[in-house]
Structure formats: structure tokens, C-alpha cells
């Protein structure tokens, strides 16, 4: 039996059959290829080895096609999601982050605003005392104030605070039903007022490692570096 023939058998064999062939080869004076041929011939029974190999090859091809289809569909959905997440070519992008050290304690806010024409605004300053939720809201407020001054359009804002992002994205009905973040109501009202003249603004949560610039700017404010805006 040549190497090609052995590969055909090995590809068709199930794991248990490969194990049985190795055991047979170990206790008999035959090669693993010969042992596998015997095991598969026995498994084929009356239908014969060629029919068994053909059937299993067809099954393997079917499974491979299904796997490829699943991978392609997953890639399509990921690209679809990425396309929805991408800002328009002429849109603005922003990132915000707020820190309180300790919590509650001294607040540092950081934000980055980038425009389609190469505009770049960094905000890094202290903002009094409060808790982490207030710090995040104050950072978002500073970002939106800067966006308003610059006439930003098509703005997509990213933040790593699920509390603030979810709170701002609540429907009016949910807020009226008392589902908003407790203690942050005044901050939410300020943010909603800033959002109104900006038009279509999308606020999205991102994990902290994808919010590095804003985090750096907020930490920089806490550490006492010169304020920027």
C-alpha cells in the first residue's frame, strides 16, 4: 500500500478506527496501514470498502461545505456590523472617559474629538469632586460642548461607561418610568440638551482597551498635567 492510499484510508477513518488500527498493528506483524485497511474492511461489511470510502468522502465534503458556509455567513455578519459601526466619511468621531480618584474623589475628564478634515481636539482637565458616573458624564458633556462649538455633524461618540452610554440611549418612555441612572438625572438632562442641536449623534459603548486616548487624557488630568482643550 502506497502513501496516497494510506492517506485515503486515514481521512475516511473515524478516531476509534484509527486507535483500533494502531492497537492491531502493535500486537500483529502488520503495518499501521495494513491494520487500518483490515479495520475499515470489517467496518464496511457487505457494502465493501470502496462504497464505505465513497460514502464517507461525500459526507466529509458535505461537512466541509457546511463549515465554509458558516464561516462565510459569520464573516458577512461581522462586516455588516462593522459597516454599521463605521462613521460616515464626512462625519466626526469622539471618545470620552472620566475618572474619580478615589471613588468618589477628585474627578479627571478626558475626551478626543476628530473631524473629517483632520481636526483634532483633546480635552484633559480636572472637574471637581464626585463619583465615577459623574466623571463619565462630565467627560461626555465636555466633548459635546466642543462638538457644538465646532459645528460637528454625523458625530459618532464612543465611551467605555456602560452606565452612561445606556442611560443616554434610554427612550423617553424608559426615563419617564424611572429606569434612568439614579443620581445622574441632571447630567443626563444637560447631555440631552447638548445633543439636540448636533442632529444625528450615535453614542456607542466600547471596551476600555479601545478607549485608550480618552483614558490617557483623563488620567493625565488627575496626575496634574497641564489642562488641554
Domain boundaries, the chain: 3-85, 93-222
Name which CATH class applies to 93-222. alpha beta
What dihedral do alpha carbons 119, 150, 132, 192 form, nearest 10°?
-140
On the question of pLDDT at 85 being above 80, the answer is no
Grid cell for residue 88 = 460616515
State the number of CA atoms in the 13 A half-sphere of 67 facing the CB. 6
CA distances from 115 to 70, 119, 143, 191, 209 (A): 38, 5, 13, 20, 22
User: Which tens digit of pLDDT belongs to each residue from 189-205?
Assistant: 999 999 999 999 999 99
User: Which tens digit of pLDDT belongs to each residue from 125-183?
Assistant: 999 999 999 999 999 999 999 999 999 999 999 999 999 999 999 998 898 899 999 99
CA distance 58 to 200: 53
Closest CA to 156 of 220, 221, 222, 84: 84
Close Cβ partners of 66 (under 8 Å, ≥ 6 residues apart): none
What's the predicted TM-score (pTM) here? 0.64
Strands (E), the chain: 93-101, 105-114, 120-130, 156-159, 202-205
Amino acid at each position: 500500500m502506497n502513501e496516497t492510499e494510506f492517506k485515503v484510508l486515514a481521512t475516511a477513518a473515524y478516531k476509534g478506527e484509527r486507535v483500533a488500527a494502531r492497537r492491531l498493528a502493535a500486537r500483529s506483524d502488520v503495518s499501521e496501514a495494513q491494520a487500518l485497511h483490515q479495520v475499515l474492511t470489517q467496518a464496511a461489511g457487505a457494502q465493501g470498502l470502496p462504497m464505505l470510502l465513497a460514502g464517507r468522502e461525500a459526507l466529509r465534503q458535505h461537512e466541509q461545505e457546511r463549515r465554509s458556509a458558516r464561516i462565510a455567513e459569520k464573516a458577512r455578519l461581522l462586516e455588516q456590523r462593522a459597516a454599521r459601526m463605521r462613521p460616515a466619511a464626512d462625519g466626526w468621531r469622539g471618545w470620552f472617559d472620566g475618572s474619580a480618584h478615589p471613588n468618589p474623589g477628585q474627578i479627571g475628564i478626558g475626551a478626543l474629538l476628530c473631524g473629517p478634515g483632520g481636526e483634532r481636539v483633546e480635552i484633559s482637565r480636572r472637574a471637581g469632586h464626585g463619583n465615577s458616573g459623574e466623571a463619565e458624564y462630565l467627560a461626555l458633556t465636555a466633548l459635546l460642548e466642543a462638538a457644538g462649538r465646532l459645528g460637528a455633524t454625523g458625530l459618532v461618540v464612543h465611551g467605555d461607561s456602560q452606565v452612561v452610554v445606556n442611560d443616554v440611549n434610554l427612550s423617553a418612555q424608559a426615563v419617564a418610568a424611572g429606569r434612568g441612572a439614579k443620581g445622574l438625572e441632571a447630567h443626563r438632562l444637560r447631555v440631552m440638551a447638548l445633543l439636540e442641536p448636533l442632529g444625528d449623534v450615535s453614542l456607542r459603548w466600547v471596551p476600555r482597551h479601545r478607549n485608550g486616548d480618552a483614558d490617557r487624557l483623563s488620567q493625565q488630568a488627575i496626575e496634574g498635567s497641564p489642562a488641554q482643550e
